[in-house]
Amino acid sequence: AIAGFQPLHRGEILLREQRVSSPGYTLAPEKRRVGMVFQDYALFPHMNVCHNICFGLRNLDNAQKRRVSDEMLEIVGLTGMGKRYIHELSGGQQQRVALARALAPRPDLVLLDEPFSNLDVVMRERLSFEVRQILKQQHTTGVMVTHDQHEAFAVGDQIGVMDDGRLLQRDTAYNLYHSPENRFVADFIGQGVFIRGTLIRPDTVKTEIGVIRGDRAYDLPTGSQVELLLRPDDIVLDEQGELTARVTQRAFKGAEILYTLEVRPGLELLSLIPSHHDYPIGAQVRIRLAPDHMVAFPVGQQGAA
């Protein structure tokens, strides 16, 4: 719909404060100044890199097209590769060519449809930072669709969480993680465990593993039953900690290890611990709860408390 290929049934879309879509009205795609980077890049294999980049530049002569192509290749870090064909490029290079083609007409907006999904993890992380930097340098707004939270966090200034066609929350990555507005967003973003508790003061919850005081007050009656979100970074290894837990699972992540810790029968927490602390499954560890940002929701409700 943003690109102009689907009509709107409700609402409206504005680009640079100009209406481009509303019920009964759709500005033609070619008049919108919107670029597109597809999931499979959609590059033409029979054309070289230069011709791919210049494909949409129909009002320029050949010399002007070459100048634009050279400029775009320099921007995306592929200087001197204009005469190569697509099959001669790596996946990361193809992704850069697709971005260069989208930027060549100087669009007001670039749409990116899961642009890194065909790349390996290392290249995906590297290019996500590069794409963000390029869009910033070109002063171009980008809208990216992704199912990968890490990509969204790396690229987006603002991130929207959608479920079943509904936008549940749009915010910074920091606020989505630390101040989710509803239980779905809290559960979807990052990792964590919900435990039941009783609100004994507006900023304090009593749980089976201790009393937890947070940094915000909830407008709920005293005695309300709530679900409290504890993330892996809220559970801290501490030899003087008030809780003893048993390691039931572990996942090595380089600098850290993600441990699953059984605190009580049927109650497990997640904890990220520096990997120089190497605990085997079955080991007993001492931990303490240190939630910097308390997140709680009324039991049985999806809305934020």
CATH of domain 33-157: 3.40.50.300
> What pLDDT score was predicted for residue 303?
45
CA–CA–CA angle 25, 28, 29 (5° rounding): 125
Domain ranges in the chain? Answer: 33-157, 191-298
Whether 2 shows a pLDDT value over 70: the answer reads yes
Per-residue CA distances from 171 to 28, 109, 115, 138, 179 (Å): 30, 19, 22, 23, 10
Pick the CATH number of 191-298 from 2.40.50.100, 2.60.40.420, 2.60.40.10, 3.20.20.70: 2.40.50.100
> What pLDDT score was predicted for residue 118?
82
- Cβ contact 232:258 at 8 Å: yes
* pLDDT tens track for 122-174: 888 888 999 999 999 999 999 999 999 989 999 999 999 999 989 999 999 99
Percent of the chain whose predicted confidence (pLDDT) is above 70: 98
- Cβ contact 216:262 at 8 Å: no
Q: Which pTM value belongs to this model?
A: 0.83
> What pLDDT score was predicted for residue 302?
59
* Confidence band for 117, pLDDT divided at 50, 70 and 90: confident
Q: State the average pLDDT over residues 180-188.
A: 93
